[in-house]
Structure 1
Amino acid sequence: MDMLTPFAWGLALTIALFAGVVKGSVGFALPLIMISGLSSFLDPKLALAGILVSVLATNGWQVTRQGYAPARAAAILHWRYLVIVMVAIFLAAQLVTAIPSQVFYFILGVPVVGLSLLQLSGVVLHIPAHRRVAAEWGIGLISGLLGGLAGTWGPTTVLYLLAIDTPKARQMVVQGVIYGAGAIVLVLAHLRSGILNGETIWFSAALLPAALIGMAVGFRLQDRMDQALFKKVTLVVLVVAGVNLIRKGLMG
């Protein structure tokens, strides 16, 4: 970390700022943007460590922005998803130093792009009420595994929330709760795995102010969107994020 040039520091802070803007606007994608941007010029393990403090703090802000009552209600409503995501993140994170993440990027990217493009073309994906319990367990497991191995569990979570017709305000709270709980586990897991240590934590903390400034800007943009525009912007972000995941899966 001491070897980073001023240019590398500037680039890292710019990436964190942009990731914060997107996070504030649609409620997710900060880990995706930061990990893909940072790993393009940093060691992948340092890049993964670099996102952790920002992921934890921005999700904490997101989940408390509308008060604790909506957050508590969201946690109760989606407790199954929360439980399986946290367990899967912790277990999968222990394998991050042993398993190449490229295959997981590719496996995640293809369905994210495909499903998002389908919805942008007018096809409505809907999970009926009687299938939601099974969907929470199944999609939560997939999200947690990808979160532990690749540092991101946002795209599959967002697709699930869109498929159950979650209103914008509630979706922001639910995403914050799910990502916040997962972020706590992810940080603890990578303290155990060694990715986050006495040296890398300072790099991670240094990126936080830029991410928070970006998020404040993003919140202002999000407040001006109606439900239809919010969904469309969310799907566009998912497509871009998915394409980047596929790129990382193919090229490393």
Structure 2
Amino acid sequence: MLEDTLSLMPLWAFAVAVGVTLIAGFVKGAIGFAMPLIMISGLSLFLDPLLAIAGIILPIVMSNFLQVARFGRVEAMAAIREYWRYIVIVCVMIVIVAQFVTAIPTRVFYLILGIPVVILSLIQLMGVTFHIPRHRRRLAEWGIGALSGILGGMTGTWGPPTVLYLIALETPKAKQLLVQGVVYGLGSVSLLAGHLQSGVLTATTAPFSAALLIPAFLGMQIGFRLSDHLNPAVFRKVTLAVLVLAGANLVRRGIMG
């Protein structure tokens, strides 16, 4: 597996990828989201964007099912029943949009990666909140779900719109983590299926993604154990600030090359 991975990149790049994934796993374990954002922002700094997307796929699948596993099966099924429309549109759009990723020029791809990271991170960092009235919920499910799925298919991350959606519904904190895990978990399976079809995840790139499972798992375990001792609000703001900087750098690369 390591030999296959090192055929795609130098040893230093693989070592940095492991470090980025470890940090992303830690953040995921501590606050429940941002792993794909951190990985795609970090890996795209020194790897081809399509290889970066391939690398995040298996760690995303594993991490989201670990998150859901912390809750009971009954709670997870209840979340699926309540949010099934949102989940369905996210999953369908991920599979569809993922098929077009390989046709996007590199500089355009950097902009597609960077702009949503900056905008969505700034929205959360500034504490901007929205409210979705009950009679508008079904429309919001389809609309925001479609946006999330498009971002997921293009960039491998659909977390920030989902977080903003759940906040707008005034979802309790514990339930937010459960629903996020369910949406991310089922969406990540769609991402895996979509990129098996798109040609991004292949016999050549899959060993790289598989190799990142270990640092992702270790990072999450550390995050789980330290989450009770961290100030979640401060840690979340620091994470979002870092994502803004990383996203801005991707935008710079998209504009300046």
Q: Report 1:165-244 matches (<5 A).
A: 165-224=170-229, 230=232, 233-234=235-236, 236-244=238-246
1:91 equivalent in alignment to 2:91:
no
Aligned to 2:71: 66
Structure-1 separation of matches of 2:44 and 2:252: 15
1:109 equivalent in alignment to 2:117:
yes
Q: Which runs of 5+ in 1 are unaligned?
A: none
What CA deviation, in whole Å up to 9, does each residue of 1:34-75 have, x standing for no partner?
112112112221111111110000111111111211111111
Structure-2 separation of matches of 1:54 and 1:233: 22
Aligned to 1:47: 52
Structure-1 separation of matches of 2:252 and 2:192: 27
What CA deviation, in whole Å up to 9, does each residue of 1:71-122 have, x standing for no partner?
1111111111101100110111001011232343354235414422431xxx
CA positional deviation for 1:217 = 1.2
Aligned to 1:78: 83
TM-score (norm 1): 0.89
CA contact (8 A) 1:81 1:140 kept: yes
CA contact (8 A) 2:29 2:223 kept: yes
Q: Report 1:89-168 matches (<5 A).
A: 89-99=94-104, 100-119=108-127, 124-168=129-173
Relative distance call for 1:137 and 1:107 in structure 2 (3 A) is farther
Match of 2:39 among 34, 47, 67: 34
SS in 1 for 2:126: helix
Root-mean-square deviation (CA), in Å?
2.0
CA contact (8 A) 1:86 1:185 kept: yes
Match of 1:2 among 2, 6, 9: 6
Give % identity: 49
CA contact (8 A) 2:33 2:159 kept: yes
CA positional deviation for 1:233 = 4.2
1:20 equivalent in alignment to 2:20:
no
- Residue type of the alignment partner of 1:130: H
CA contact (8 A) 2:25 2:216 kept: yes
Aligned to 1:249: 251
Q: Number of paired residues?
A: 246
SS in 2 for 1:11: helix
CA contact (8 A) 2:18 2:212 kept: yes
- Residue type of the alignment partner of 2:113: Y
CA positional deviation for 1:232 = 5.7
CA positional deviation for 1:2 = 2.8
CA contact (8 A) 2:49 2:109 kept: no
CA contact (8 A) 1:49 1:195 kept: yes
Match of 1:57 among 43, 62, 65: 62
CA positional deviation for 1:21 = 0.4
Structure-1 separation of matches of 2:179 and 2:172: 10
- Residue type of the alignment partner of 1:108: P
CA positional deviation for 1:165 = 2.1
Moved over 6 A (4+): none
Structure-2 separation of matches of 1:197 and 1:17: 23
Q: Bigger shift: 99-108 or 127-136?
A: 99-108
CA positional deviation for 1:181 = 0.8
